[in-house]
């Protein structure tokens, strides 16, 4: 059974073994008469994760191929999920998401998502309250955030700089206005307001909430710490 701590290393090892010298040819899935083109230089320069994504996105490699190539050291994440309750929950969240939650391209397979959920990523996700997957944002990043309908209670009555800096210490961020508009479909901030990313020293910081069937975004003084004002935090996974 694959251990969570070895999952990422196995994937990167598999990716590295698929790269051949400077040409970096992908293992062809098609007959020898249809050679696979080399991995583009700009993709290689981004590292093993980008190469793996390129191979999967272009159908030169499937999760099944990856399993076989690593002699079953990498699986479809089922075994990992059995050992990691958070990963199991995120898997359930992912399966329940509609295609509209993916703002770039089509809904990917769970196997492709699971490759990105490394032990380091899961540790950061555990800093969230009831973490759940929102979807994929317009930058192609997987968005995992606080899972409740309201901001976490411990973030209430804290000003913008305080909650923003606290999120950063855990490798988290505040949602952008664009993300908030994309993913709040009426189930976030029905009674509270969440700070939204507004830069390092704004004169007015953004706050978002749902109000009688409408999503609203307003401006607040960055030092405002009134009741009902807190922060919904997110983790972006490339």
Instruction: Dump pLDDT digits (tens) for 163-214.
Output: 999 999 999 999 999 999 999 999 999 999 999 999 999 999 999 999 988 9
Burial (0-12, 13-18, 19+ Cβ within 10 Å), 212: exposed
pLDDT of amino acid 164: 98
Closest Cα partner for 14 from 57, 58, 71, 54? 71
Q: What is the pLDDT of residues 129-150, one digit of tens each?
A: 999 999 999 999 999 999 999 9
pLDDT score at 77? 45
Domains of the chain listed by start with CATH number: 1-75 (no CATH), 92-238 (3.10.100)
pLDDT in tens, 66-94: 665 554 444 544 454 446 899 999 999 99
User: Residue 13 is encoded by which pair of tokens?
Assistant: 């090892």
Please give the order of strands across the beta sheet that includes 229-230.
214-220, 205-211, 193-195, 229-230
Q: 238: which 2 tokens? A: 């490339």
Segments in the chain forming alpha helices (H): 4-17, 41-44, 48-57, 63-69, 78-83, 85-96, 110-116, 119-125, 160-169, 177-183
CA distance linking residue 135 with residue 100, whole number of Å: 8
Query: Distance of alpha carbon 210 from its chain centroid, rounded?
Result: 24
Express the helix, strand and coil content of the chain in percent, nearest 5 each: 40, 15, 45
Candidates 71, 164, 53; CA nearest to 108 is 53
Q: What is the pLDDT of residue 67?
A: 61
Angle at 16 between CA 54 and CA 238, to 5 degrees: 45
Residues 177 and 205: beta-carbon distance below 8 Å = no
């Amino acid at each position: 059974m694959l251990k969570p701590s070895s999952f990422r290393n196995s994937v990167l090892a598999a990716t590295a073994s698929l790269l051949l010298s400077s040409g970096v040819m992908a293992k062809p899935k098609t007959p020898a008469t249809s050679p696979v083109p080399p991995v583009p230089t700009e993709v290689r320069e981004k590292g093993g994760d980008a190469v793996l994504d390129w191979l999967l996105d272009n159908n030169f490699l499937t999760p099944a191929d990856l399993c076989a190539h690593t002699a079953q050291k990498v699986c479809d994440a089922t075994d990992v999920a059995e050992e990691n309750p958070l990963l199991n929950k995120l898997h359930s969240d992912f399966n329940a998401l509609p295609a509209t939650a993916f703002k770039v391209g089509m809904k990917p397979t769970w196997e492709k998502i699971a490759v990105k959920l490394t032990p380091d990523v899961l540790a950061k996700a555990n800093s969230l309250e009831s973490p759940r997957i929102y979807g994929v944002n317009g930058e192609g990043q997987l968005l995992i955030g606080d899972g409740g309908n309201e901001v976490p209670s411990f973030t209430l009555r804290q000003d913008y700089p305080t909650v923003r800096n606290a999120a950063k210490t855990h490798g988290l961020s505040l949602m952008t206005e664009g993300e908030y508009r994309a993913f709040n479909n009426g189930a976030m901030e029905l009674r509270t307001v969440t700070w939204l990313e507004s830069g390092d020293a704004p004169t007015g910081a953004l706050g978002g909430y749902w109000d009688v069937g409408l999503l609203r975004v307003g401006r607040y003084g960055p030092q405002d710490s009134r009741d009902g004002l807190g922060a919904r935090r997110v983790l972006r996974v490339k």
